[in-house]
Amino acid sequence: MRDVIPAEELLHKASAVGQYYGFMPLSSLTAKARGSRPKQTGYPESLTGIALDPTAEIVASFLKQLQKLECAPSPRQPLFVWHTNIAPGRPAPKKATIQFHALGTDRALADAVVIRALIALSRDLFHEEPVVRINSMGDKETRARYARELGNFFKKRGPTLPEECVNCAKRDTFEAAELAIENEYADDLPAPTEHLSDASRKRFEDLLEYLEMTETPYELAKNLISRGSTWSDTCFELVAGERRVAWGSRYNDFTKHFFPGSGMSATGAVFQVASEGKAVVKAKPARLRFSFVHIGDEAKRLSIRLADDFRKARVSLAQDIGVESLTEQLYLAERRNSPYLLIMGRKEALEGSAILRNRATQVETILPLAGLVERLKAVV
């Protein structure tokens, strides 16, 4: 497994993954807002005195940029965004970050798409299958209940635990739990999933069902926890070469610091790797030939599974997996001005087919999913 990745390769592959899984680059939002003079703001006062872990610091910086640009998802259109600290034309940072965020939707689909995008990026960069470890810390109600269980655990086990861990538990039981896990003396540590509220349990079960129905490999990890006021519900990590390369979680409550009064549903992940070199400034990309639009859970699940096939075959295609509204998807496809639409509804998903529409002539052709990639590559 490579320890250092060239900046050019990172930028190219992250951009491709974003395109096929429906994440727009934050830089495109920046470009749209240049004429509107985005607000210059610092971190919200409500964050003063709150200790943020390194990943939370990165997410906070991302949310700060969205706030400056006055970018927020609408009820009809959630915002799926990818972002990096690699700047074309400049030397790569020693530690490069690639972020994937889904904002404005509470559905398990959002978490599943973020996880699938991370898996695709990891496979491309390291040429091996990453391990996806997943757990749920639940909502505020769950965390409060779990904190009490951890407190009882450390009181009962105090005489058998190192003094460092016992003293840490007096300050922060979650930090003490991380310390116990790190030092491998927490075999009987309480599992957060045993204390989930009904709402959190349902949300977690929905995600696991989505992962299984899209054939996304994962393993449950009861010792994967998050602490602090940033994260909630699902948390996950990607491990490649026995090293964590990405961490992600829900962070609904954290968005309220940057979008007061409302906040928003949000899930995101940060991929980190050492980098070197310089990414060149590329010319404007060619027009995409296909826009894939879909409606219904069956079609959404198939679109997730097909994304990697399209990407590996380099089919000139983009889609917006996280957008539920067909009307909104058609609007986004119109903005891309791609000459063909690939359309899939519930009927087509169940029949194993898709409709190819020529936007100039409105002629439609029904294509079976078997061999779809090769058929699209042959379209002239």
Is residue 208 located within the same domain as residue 133? yes
Q: Is the pLDDT of residue 272 over 80?
A: yes
> Pick from 225, 246, 276: which residue ends a domain?
276
Q: Are strands 266-276 and 95-103 parallel, antiparallel or unpaired?
A: antiparallel
Q: What is the DSSP string of 106-175?
A: -SHHHHHHHHHHHHHHHHHHHSSPPEEEEEE---HHHHHHHHHHHHHHHHHHGGGS-HHHHHHHHH-HHH
* Percentage of residues in the chain having pLDDT higher than 90: 62
**Amino acid letter, residue 180:** A
Q: Is the pLDDT of residue 165 over 60?
A: yes
Is residue 155 located within the same domain as residue 238? no
Is residue 300 located within the same domain as residue 366? yes
Consecutive H or E run containing 349: helix 346-351
Range of the domain at 112: 4-138+197-276
Q: Is the pLDDT of residue 35 over 60?
A: no
Q: What are the respective helix, strand and coil percentages of the chain, to the nearest 5?
A: 45, 20, 35
pTM of the prediction?
0.92
Instruction: Please report whether residue 284 resides in a domain.
Output: no
Residue 361 sits in a domain whose CATH number is 3.40.50.800
Is residue 63 located within the same domain as residue 127? yes
- Rounded distance, CA 274 to CA 154, Å? 37
**15 contact partners, CB below 8 Å, separation of at least 6:** 25, 82
Instruction: Please report whether residue 47 resides in a domain.
Output: yes
Is residue 232 located within the same domain as residue 342? no
Counting the structural domains of the chain, the total is: 3
**What are phi and psi for residue 49, nearest 5 degrees?**
85, -5
* Percentage of residues in the chain having pLDDT higher than 70: 94
Q: What is the pLDDT of residues 85-144, one digit of tens each?
A: 999 888 999 999 999 999 999 999 999 999 999 999 999 999 999 999 999 999 988 988
**How large is the average pLDDT for residues 23-52?**
71
Residue 78 sits in a domain whose CATH number is 3.30.930.10
- pLDDT of the residue at 52: 86
**Amino acid letter, residue 265:** S
Consecutive H or E run containing 206: helix 198-213
Is residue 168 located within the same domain as residue 298? no
More confident residue, 100 or 156: 100
Is residue 68 located within the same domain as residue 134? yes
> Pick from 254, 276, 298: which residue ends a domain?
276
Contact 122, 105 (CB under 8 A): no
Q: Is the pLDDT of residue 229 over 90?
A: no
- pLDDT of the residue at 166: 86
Contact 251, 240 (CB under 8 A): no
> Pick from 126, 158, 193: which residue ends a domain?
193
**How large is the average pLDDT for residues 255-269?**
87
Is residue 260 located within the same domain as residue 336? no
- pLDDT of the residue at 33: 55
More confident residue, 282 or 1: 1
Is residue 270 located within the same domain as residue 332? no
Instruction: Please report whether residue 342 resides in a domain.
Output: yes
Tell the residue number behind the tokens 């250092």, with chain if given. Answer: 4
